[in-house]
Structure 1
Amino acid sequence: MALYKDRHRELWNKCTNCGELVFKQALERNSYTCPNCDYYSPMPADGRLRYLFDSEAIFNLHPASIDKQLLDSIGMADLVDQNRFPDESQWLASAGEGTISNCPTVLAVVAPYAVPQRVHFVTLLVAIRTALEKKLPFITVYPSDALAKKRSDPPEQPELSPTEITYLTIEMDNLSQARLPQITILTDQDRQTGFLTQFPLGDVVLAEQNRMSGSSAGRRTHSSRGESSETMSSLSSYTPADVSIDYYVQRQDLPARLGKLLAFFAK
C-alpha cells in the first residue's frame, strides 16, 4: 500500500516511454496521456471507472463498501464477511454500476501494478452477480500481466488461485446463458508478450493501444470467427496468437466505442 500512496503524493510523473517529467495533475486531466509523446500511462482503477462512466453518479460495487442488502440478494454476504477488505483496497480493483452513453452497465477494473489477489476475485464476483441479478451488460478492464506488480498490505492476503479463475469463468458463463453482453478491455500492452491476462475474457475483446495516434483504431477479425480481416494497428503484432482481439482502440475513443457496442446489444 505504501507504493500506491507514495505514487499519489508525488507532484511529478516520469513517462515510462520518453522519460520526460509530467506534472501529475496535468497527466490526470489528460486521461493519463503523456503530453510529450502521446504515450498512455497506466490508469488507476478508480480513475478508469470515472473515465468510462458518463458521470460521477456511480453505485460502488467494491466489497469494502457494498450494500448488505445487495450482498444478500446475490448470495455474497458470507464470502465478503469472511474476507474483510479495508477501503484502501479499492485501489487494487474497482467496480461500479453506472451508465456509458446512457446505457446502464456494470464495470469492473483491475488496477495496474497490483498482484491479483483475493480482493480481485471477490470484487469481480460481486460485479458479475450484480450484472446477472439486474440483467445488465458486464464490462471488465484488465492490464497486461507483464506490468511490474506490487503486493498490497497486508501481504498475507492470498494471491488469486487457478481455482478462483475457473470459478470466475463459470460465473461469466452464466451471463452468456442469460444472453447478457460481456465486453473486455485489455490495456498496457507489453512489446514482448502483448496483452496477457489470467482473467476470463468477455465475448467481445477490445485492446487499448499504447499511444495516441492521428489514425482511427483498426479492427482485427480472426478467421476462426468466420469473418474477413480488416486493417489492424502495427502494435497488434506483439499480441500472442491465443488472445482474440476484436477491436484496437485509442484511449480517448473508448467511451464512444463502448457506447456503440452497448447500443447495438440493446437492440
Structure 2
Amino acid sequence: MSWIDKILPSGVSKGEGKKRSSVPEGLWKKCVKCDAVLYRPDLERNSDVCPKCDHHMRIGARRRLDSFLDKGDREEIFTDVVPVDRLKFKDKKRYRDRLAGAQKSTGEKDALIAMQGTLKGMPVVVVAFEFNFHGGSMGYAVGEKFTRAAQLALENRMPLVCFAASGGARMQEALISLMQMAKTSAVLERMKLAGVPYISVMTDPIYGGVSASLALLGDINVAEPDARAGFAGPNIIEQTIRQKLPKGFQRSEFLLEHGAIDMIVHRTEMRDTLGRLLAKLGNVEIAPELAADPVPAFELLEPEPEQEVQVERKPEGDE
C-alpha cells in the first residue's frame, strides 16, 4: 500500500472525482517555433502554416499532392513498386521488420508517392516524399518509382514536379540505395536534353544523396521558407572544418542569397506560382477561372486556458 492510500479516508479512491476532459483529442496543436497553441482546423485551412509566425510545419506526401493537383483529375501511378529486403539486412532490428513498421504507421508502401494529373488544367507528373517513412530515405523502390515517373513525363512531354523531404540514401540497402543516385540523375539528364521541364521543390529537411541526385537538379529549384537543404548536416561540417558556420547556414533564405536555389515560395502560393512557371515554360495560357486559387478566409480561434494547458502537458512530438 502506498503512502497516499494510507492517508485517504476509507471508501475514497485516488481517481474519484477526476473530471474527464471535454476537449476532443488532437483538436489543438502547438507550433514548434513560436509555441502558439493553434486550432487544428484553422491550421489545416492555412496549409499547416502557423498563422502567427509563418512557420511551415511538415505535412504528409499524400496531403501535399492532394492540395497541389487539380481536384478529381489525378491518378496514383507505379503502385506496384515496393521495397524488397534483398540483402536480408539486420542491425538492432531486421530491415523487413522496420519496413513493416513504417508501412503500418504511415499507411504507405514506401517513402515516395507518384501521381499523374493536372495543375491549372495542364498535364503534369508529380512525386512527393513521405518523410515519416524512414526519414524519406531513398532505396530501390523510391529510386525506381522516381525514375519511372520521370520516364513517363519524358515520353509524354509532361512537366515533372518533385516535392523532396529526405535524410538521404537508405543505409539498410547499402550499395543498392547508392545506385539509385546514378539512376535518378541520369533520367533527369535525359529530360534536360529533351527540353522537358523539371521543377524541384525542397521542403524541410532535404539532405544526403537525395539532395545531390534529384532535389538540386531541377531546371528551376524552389524551396519553402526556412527549409533546411544540403548534402552533409551543419554539425558534421563544423566538426570537419573546425569552424563555426554562418547563422542560417543551409536554410533556404541562405541558399537563395548565395545562388543555390532560384526562388522561395510560400506553401499557400505554391499552386499558383508553379502553375505560372509551367505555363510560361510550356508556352500555354491558363484559363482565367483557374489562374488564382481563392484564399481561405477565417478568424483564428484562440484556445481556452484549460485547452492550452492540456496541449502544453502533452509529451513532445505527441499529436
Q: TM-score range by the shorter chain?
A: 0.5 to 0.7
After superposing the two structures, state which structure 1 stretch, 177-186 or 19-28, moved more.
19-28
- For the pair 1:197 / 2:216, whether they are aligned, the reply is no
Partner of residue 138, structure 2: 117
Aligned counterpart in structure 2 of residue 131 of structure 1, from 144, 153, 157: 153
Q: C-alpha displacement at 1:143, in angstroms? A: 2.5
Letter in 2 for 1:138: L
* In structure 2, distance between residues paired with 1:19 and 1:162: 39
User: What TM-score comes out, normalization by structure 2 length?
Assistant: 0.56
- In 2, are the aligned partners of 1:140 and 1:184 still within 8 Å (CA)? yes
Question: Using the alignment, how far apart are the partners of 1:246 and 1:30 within structure 2?
Answer: 24
Distance, in Å, in 2 between the alignment partners of 1:81 and 1:189 is 24
Kindly provide the CA deviation profile for residues 114-164 of structure 1, in whole angstroms up to 9, marking residues without a partner as x.
241323212212211221222211111112649xxxx9xxx9666972221
Counting only pairs closer than 5 Å after superposition, residues 249-260 of structure 1 correspond to structure 2 as 249-260=265-276
Note the alpha carbon deviations across 1:14-59, whole angstroms, 9 max, x for none: 3221123334443222201113322111121111111111214311
Separation of aligned partners in 1, 2:74 and 2:83: 26
Residue equivalent to 2:121: 102
Structure 1 position 204, deviation (Å): 0.9
- Three-state SS of the structure 1 residue aligned to 2:261 is coil
TM-score (norm 1): 0.66
Using a 3 Å threshold, how does the CA distance of structure 1 residues 170 and 243 change in structure 2: closer, same or farther?
farther
Distance in structure 2 (CA, Å) of the matches to 1:34 and 1:120: 30
TM-align CA RMSD: 3.5
Give the total of aligned pairs: 211
Cα distance in 2 between the residues matched to 1:237 and 1:60: 33
2:142, 2:83 → 1: CA distance? 15
Which SS does the other structure have where 1:239 is aligned?
helix
Deviation at 1:63, TM superposition (A): 2.5
Letter of the 1:47 counterpart: R
Runs of 5+ unmatched residues, structure 2: 1-24, 86-98, 228-250, 284-319
Letter of the aligned partner of 1:207 in structure 2? A
Matched residues, percent identical? 25
Paired with 1:187 and 1:105, the residues of 2 have a C-alpha distance of: 20
User: Quick check: 1:183 aligned with 2:199?
Assistant: yes
Which of these residues, 52, 63, 70, is aligned with residue 47 of structure 1?
63
Q: 1:49 to 1:121 in 2, by over 3 A?
A: same
**Aligned residue runs from structure 1 range 237-256, under 5 A:** 237-239=253-255, 244-256=260-272
Alpha-carbon contact 1:165-1:199 (below 8 Å) kept: yes
Selected match of 1:14 from 23, 30, 45: 30
Gaps of 5+ in 1: 1-8, 65-79, 212-234
User: Secondary structure of the equivalent of 2:162?
Assistant: strand
Q: Does 1:92 pair with 2:114?
A: no
Residues 18 and 10 of structure 1: CA distance in aligned 2, closer, same or farther (over 3 Å): same
